[in-house]
């Protein structure tokens, strides 16, 4: 059942390694996720890897055995290889015992059902894959429907983003769109667009949030373009007591998302 | 006034590069910070680099000219070098135009004045330097006094932590201590110890926070040891609506810190 691979120059190993680069991910429409916990989250969310790569010679965790059966039953491939090769594939010195190859999801805006959740996170030109993954993780925690990536953001299917999401890449919807597509889509239905902003903004605490609430966070160094802020229904600001005038983008999104959650729940929605 | 360095093998270049490694930072008691904004923040906080390294041949920003004068007046050294060498020193392809060498601060717990601020952040075994820097940045934003690092944390003087702090490494106090030192120190004066926890915890929203409030966040993958949670005055939990049972450590600290800030201000303290 398992195919064994022992050589670094094996074409499958080369293929798997190539998925660490965005260019190859886009060519293949595939991405890599590592770790038993992540892959179990994926399975429980109805996503199975097409290829499962396991380190040989380790004791098989019951969850891994289950995963292996599920992948094989679905017609996927199971590969057994050395820890060294697994380290090479994932780019980590101490690799997890397992990694999987998944097909990238459909990230069309039109596939989103905005009424599926009271909160949506929206990031504009977010460049750090760690921040992106962290926003997915926060979205999962606040019961958001997903993360909408506006303009040129980091790739949500990069190893770093998938890792930082702690499995939320499989539970949150992900959409990618230009601002020029996003705004008409948003205005084509219900939805309040809220920006974390410093300009003409009211205190974030107790602001009149309404579901479905779209929380917009800007680029790490430049923030949101002025025109984007102007298009928002609500601009809110968090206290800044120190020298700095901004928070880390993922932190700002999280502080705001938890406030929106409290506001929506407090009003019984 | 400026000393020009053109060779990669120059001893000063080697010294500067060595500061990217913790071992060498500890040996020398020095660390590296890069970028005009960071160095300007440092200067305005009363910290000047002992060595200022500038890229040659760029137009000098007025703030950089000011910085150069201040460093020279304080008896520091100003070095002019190529962009390539600067890139080598900072480990970044597109280096900032300037970097500086600072003496590491005193991080003894005994040097902290707990009454200097209503909020203090405390991290236990925090391993990611980006999270550490982000916590410093959040601390600055909520008006915290500083960040106390318990047990084996990432090095707050690493290039990554300094970078993620966005200058807050110069405005926040930093202390390092073992738990066995921290707890007696804390109990030797006023202070409420609050943990973000899932065990026997009350909702974080509207909990009875009191200044000086010490917000304790645990390790990225293991959370807090049970005994540490037990020692807290208050255990609070954030809603978790999704599959995951935890937030990114820096995010959890920030959501809680903003709630504490609102609680303390709402009660007029």
CB of A127 less than 8 A from some CB of B: no
Task: Inspect the interface and report whether the beta carbons of B243 and A44 lie closer than 8 Å.
Answer: yes
Range with the poorest average pLDDT among A119-123, B80-84, B150-154: B80-84
Residues 17-56, chain B, touching A (beta carbon < 8 A): 41, 44-45
The pLDDT tens digits for B219-255 are: 998 999 999 999 999 999 999 999 888 899 999 999 9
| Whole-number pLDDT of residue A267 | 62
Report the percent of chain A where pLDDT is more than 90.
80
For B141, which of A140, A166, A242 is closest by C-beta distance? Answer: A242
Q: Find the residue in B nearest to A38 (Cα).
A: B244
- Listing DSSP states for chain B in one string gives -PEEE--TT-HHHHHHHHTTSHHHHHHHTEEEEESHHHHHHHHHTT---SEEEEETTSPPPHHHHHHHHHHHHTT-EEEEE-HHHHHHHHT-SS--SEEEEEEPPP--GGG--GGG-SEEEEEES---HHHHHHHHHHHHHHT--EEEEESSPPPTTSHHHHHHTTTHHHHSEEEEE-HHHHHHHHHTSS-EEEEE-SSS-EESTT----SSEEEEE-BTTTB--HHHHHT-SEEEE----SS-S---HHHHHHHHHHHHHHHHHHTT-
Q: List all residues of chain B from 150 to 189 with a beta carbon under 8 Å from chain A.
A: 164, 166-168, 171
Picking from B134, B238, B242, the nearest residue to A140 by CB comes out as B242
Instruction: Please choose, from the candidates A63, A123, A105, the residue with its C-alpha nearest in 3D space to the C-alpha of residue A250.
Output: A123
Preferred mutation among A45, A137, A207, A251 to probe B, highest tally of B CBs within 10 A:
A251
The interface pTM score, or ipTM, of the predicted complex is: 0.93
Report the gap between the CA of B198 and the closest CA in chain A (Å).
Answer: 13
CB distance B205–A262 less than 8 Å? yes
pLDDT at B158 over 70: yes
Mean pLDDT of chain B: 93
Say yes or no to pLDDT of A58 above 80: no
Residue A15 CB contacts under 8 Å (≥ 6 apart), including other chains: A28
- What pLDDT was estimated at residue A244? 83
- Percentage of chain A lying above the pLDDT 70 cut: 98
Residue to test with chain A: of B45, B241, B256, B264, most A Cβ within 10 A: B241
Contact pairs from chain A to chain B, CB under 8 Å: 110
Separation of alpha carbons A5 and A180, rounded Å: 47
User: What is the rounded distance in angstroms from the CA atom of residue A239 to the CA atom of residue A78?
Assistant: 52
Q: How confident is the model at residue B267 (pLDDT cuts 50, 70, 90)?
A: low
A221 at the B interface (CB within 8 A)? Answer: no
pTM value surpassing 0.80: yes
Rg (CA), chain A: 20
Q: Which residues of B touch A247 (CB under 8 A)?
A: 137-138, 141, 254
Specify which residues B31 forms β-bridges with.
Answer: B102
CB atoms within 10 A of CB A246: 18
Residue with tokens 């300007």: B40
Dihedral angle, C-alpha A62, A65, A67, A70, nearest 10 °: -130
Q: State yes or no: pLDDT of A268 exceeds 60.
A: no
Which band of pLDDT confidence, cut at 50, 70 and 90, is reported for residue B269?
A: very low
Is a pLDDT exceeding 60 seen at residue A90?
yes
How much of chain B exceeds pLDDT 90, in percent? 81
């Amino acid at each position: 059942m398992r195919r064994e691979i022992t050589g670094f120059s094996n074409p499958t190993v080369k293929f798997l390694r190539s998925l660490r680069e965005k260019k190859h991910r886009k060519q293949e429409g595939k991405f890599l996720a590592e770790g038993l916990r992540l892959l179990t989250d994926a399975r429980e969310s109805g996503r199975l890897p097409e290829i499962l790569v396991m380190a040989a010679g380790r004791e098989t965790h019951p969850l891994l055995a289950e995963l292996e059966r599920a992948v094989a039953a679905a017609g996927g491939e199971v590969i057994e290889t050395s820890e060294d090769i697994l380290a090479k594939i994932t780019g980590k010195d101490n690799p997890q015992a397992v990694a999987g190859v998944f097909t990238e999801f459909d990230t069309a805006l039109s596939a989103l059902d905005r009424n599926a959740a009271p909160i949506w996170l929206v990031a504009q030109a977010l460049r750090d894959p760690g921040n992106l993954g962290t926003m997915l993780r926060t979205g999962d925690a606040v019961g958001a429907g997903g993360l909408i990536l506006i303009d040129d953001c980091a790739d949500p299917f990069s190893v770093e983003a998938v890792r930082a999401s702690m499995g939320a890449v499989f539970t949150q919807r992900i959409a990618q769109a230009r601002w020029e597509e996003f705004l008409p889509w948003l205005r084509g239905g219900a939805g309040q667009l809220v920006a974390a902003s410093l300009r003409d903004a009211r205190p974030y605490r107790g602001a009149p949030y309404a579901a479905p609430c779209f929380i917009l966070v800007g680029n790490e160094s430049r923030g949101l373009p002025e025109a984007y802020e102007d298009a928002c229904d609500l601009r809110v600001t968090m206290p800044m007591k120190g020298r700095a005038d901004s928070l880390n983008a993922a932190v700002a999104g999280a502080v705001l998302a938890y406030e929106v959650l409290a506001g929506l729940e407090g009003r019984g929605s």
